[in-house]
Amino acid sequence: MDTKISVIVGIYKTEKLLSRCIESILDQTYRNLEIILIEDGSPDRCGQICEHYRSLDQRIKVVHKRNGGISEVRNIGVELATGEYIAFVDSDDFIHNTYIEKLYMLCKKYNAQIAQCGFAKVTDTKGKPKMIDNSYEEIKIYSNKEMLYNLFNENYVCSVVVWSKLYHKHIFRNIRFPVGRLHEDEAVIHKLFYESNRIAVTREPLYYYCISGESITRSAYSPNKIDIIQAYEERLVFFTDIAMPDLYRYTLYRYFYHLVSNYCLYQKHCKDLVPKRMELREKIRRTYDEIRKGRYFSTRARIKMSMVHIFPGIYGRIWMNKG
């Protein structure tokens, strides 16, 4: 285990959960780690907690910076990382003690540039690791293009996030997270998959995702959450460029869904932002025109989208509630 692996942790307002996160990394069976703790201008005691752990373990590096958001934090971590592989852990989450070792062994055994595991949801400080049984033995190996389909099927939830994965660092040579935007995972994950020639996936839940109101990435609805629209617009261009019409079609459907859902949310939470709501309404119209002219979907699906297009405020809410 001579290969160094860098673990990047972005930290903001997670004082109550941070120690659990850091200790789960220190407890890894894989020992050759570089642990990069980036305190993103947190107003609580997170900075002091980071310094305490730095004094206990020489593998820990600490960066204190003005608040700039999770994308900026992760980009700094990628730049600072000296390991051959990179993993991201959110500071209110934690990991199984075999997380790094098992993902690294998947990369080496299958010559994969990304290894991905499953995750389990926990609640704040009450969350505890679950015992790992033998029901997760199946390993699936995907090519880069095959893995892209997982962003549109039943594997979406595990696939779309940048945590729960180990990456060879070279994948990031031309990829960075979009600073100042939300939904940063959706903006880059397809690029990371495409840059890999092989991805190894296990369902084993080695990552523990904390359902919490206090973190660098989780908050209530705000107008900035419309950044998901830009992420999907960029995906449409991306799948056009790499000539994958099926994935363009799937993205177009998701894009239409997010246009409608954000239009409804703007009506409910941002009634004063009329110009932005009208911009969304126009994008709904243009996207529906492309769907209708392109004959991308079944007659039933086109009828449903036609009703949503005509009455987005009414049928959009029904569509959203049905998922």
Whether 231 maps to a domain, the answer reads: yes
Whether 89 maps to a domain, the answer reads: yes
Same domain, 175 and 300: no
* pLDDT value of residue 211: 82
> Does the pLDDT value for residue 39 go beyond 70?
yes
* pLDDT value of residue 108: 97
Higher-scoring residue by pLDDT: 225, 11: 11
| Closest to 187 in 3D by CA, of 147, 146, 229 | 229
Same domain, 201 and 234: no
| Whole-structure pTM value | 0.87
Whether 218 maps to a domain, the answer reads: no
Of 210, 231, 258, the last residue of a domain is: 210
Higher-scoring residue by pLDDT: 152, 275: 152
> Does the pLDDT value for residue 234 go beyond 80?
yes
Same domain, 202 and 312: no
Whether 215 maps to a domain, the answer reads: no
pLDDT tier for residue 106 given thresholds of 50, 70 and 90: very high
* pLDDT value of residue 216: 47
Same domain, 228 and 203: no
Same domain, 280 and 183: no
> Does the pLDDT value for residue 155 go beyond 80?
yes
Of 210, 236, 254, the last residue of a domain is: 210
CA distance 148 to 247: 8
Same domain, 246 and 102: no
> Does the pLDDT value for residue 291 go beyond 50?
yes
Number of domains in the chain: 2
**What value does the mean pLDDT take over residues 52-65?**
98
Q: Contact 128/47 with Cβ under 8 angstroms? A: no
Would you tell me the crossing angle of helices 70-80 and 184-195 to the nearest 10 degrees?
Answer: 30
> Does the pLDDT value for residue 322 go beyond 60?
no
Alpha helix ranges (H) inside the chain:
15-26, 46-56, 70-80, 99-110, 144-148, 156-160, 184-195, 227-241, 245-269, 274-294, 299-310, 312-322
**What value does the mean pLDDT take over residues 215-238?**
77
> Does the pLDDT value for residue 129 go beyond 90?
no
Same domain, 240 and 97: no
* pLDDT value of residue 263: 80
C-alpha pair distances (Å), 100 with each of 31, 84, 96, 235, 266: 9, 13, 9, 30, 41
* pLDDT value of residue 271: 61
Provide the residue range defining the domain that includes 53: 5-210
CA distance 269 to 281: 16
**What value does the mean pLDDT take over residues 188-211?**
96
- State what percent of residues in the chain have pLDDT above 90: 66
Same domain, 134 and 11: yes
* pLDDT value of residue 313: 58
* pLDDT value of residue 64: 97
Same domain, 201 and 274: no
**What value does the mean pLDDT take over residues 292-321?**
63
* pLDDT value of residue 285: 87
Of 210, 241, 267, the last residue of a domain is: 210
Would you tell me the crossing angle of helices 184-195 and 227-241 to the nearest 10 degrees?
Answer: 20
Same domain, 229 and 266: yes
Whether 150 maps to a domain, the answer reads: yes
CATH number, domain of 17, equals: 3.90.550.10
Q: Contact 188/74 with Cβ under 8 angstroms? A: no
Q: Contact 26/65 with Cβ under 8 angstroms? A: no
Mean residue pLDDT across the chain: 87
> Does the pLDDT value for residue 217 go beyond 80?
no
* pLDDT value of residue 84: 98
Same domain, 179 and 203: yes
* pLDDT value of residue 50: 98
* pLDDT value of residue 195: 97
**What value does the mean pLDDT take over residues 19-32?**
97
Would you tell me the crossing angle of helices 227-241 and 245-269 to the nearest 10 degrees?
Answer: 170
CA distance 145 to 163: 20
Whether 206 maps to a domain, the answer reads: yes
**What value does the mean pLDDT take over residues 270-292?**
80
Q: Exposure pattern of 39-64 as b/e (b: 16+ CB <10 Å)?
A: bbbbeeebbebbeebbeeeebbbbbe
* pLDDT value of residue 182: 86
Same domain, 163 and 253: no
> Does the pLDDT value for residue 63 go beyond 80?
yes
**What value does the mean pLDDT take over residues 116-140?**
72
Instruction: Report the chain's C-alpha Rg in angstroms.
Output: 21
